[in-house]
Amino acid sequence: MPLTVADLMSKMPKAFLPEKAPGLDAVIQFKFTGAEAGDWFAAIKDGKCTTEQGAHPSPKMTLSADSSDYVKVFTGELDGMQAFMQGKIKLAGDLNLAMKLMTMFKIR
């Protein structure tokens, strides 16, 4: 059974590597289009990551992508940087945070 955005968002807290984000206090907004359109956000604070469905009033960074492309990036089928360069993933806000994002989570 293929992974869904909801599956990935529920797994994010367990995949979080707090040692890769010391002292980070940030909210990342995810805006998905396509088959699983919707808003989610991940809050990282005090060495923990939580995720919720919905829009956050003041995210530090926003990532917009087609839901199927995001699943492919998270499962390693699509390179995140390549997806960004091809315009499949759009970022707004703190781009340094975006660069760290891929290292803060244990993918797969």
pLDDT of residue 1: 62
pLDDT of residue 101: 83
Query: Is 106 a domain residue?
Result: no
Average of per-residue pLDDT values in the chain: 93
Query: Is 62 a domain residue?
Result: yes
Query: Is 107 a domain residue?
Result: no
Query: Is 108 a domain residue?
Result: no
Read off the pTM: 0.92
- Please check whether residue 51 is in contact with residue 36, taking contact to mean a CB–CB distance below 8 angstroms: no
3-state secondary structure of 78: coil
Residue-wise pLDDT tens digits, 39-59: 999 999 999 999 999 999 999
Query: Is 9 a domain residue?
Result: yes
pLDDT of residue 30: 97
The residue to which tokens 């956050």 are assigned: 56
Query: Is 21 a domain residue?
Result: yes
Q: How many structural domains comprise the chain?
A: 1
Handedness of CA 55, 31, 34, 76 (dihedral sign): negative
Q: Which domain holds residue 29?
A: 5-101
Residue-wise pLDDT tens digits, 72-91: 988 889 988 899 999 999 99
Judge whether residue 98 has pLDDT over 60: yes
Specify the CATH number for the domain of residue 54.
3.30.1050.10
- The angle at the Cα of 60, spanning 105 to 75, to the nearest 5 degrees, equals 25
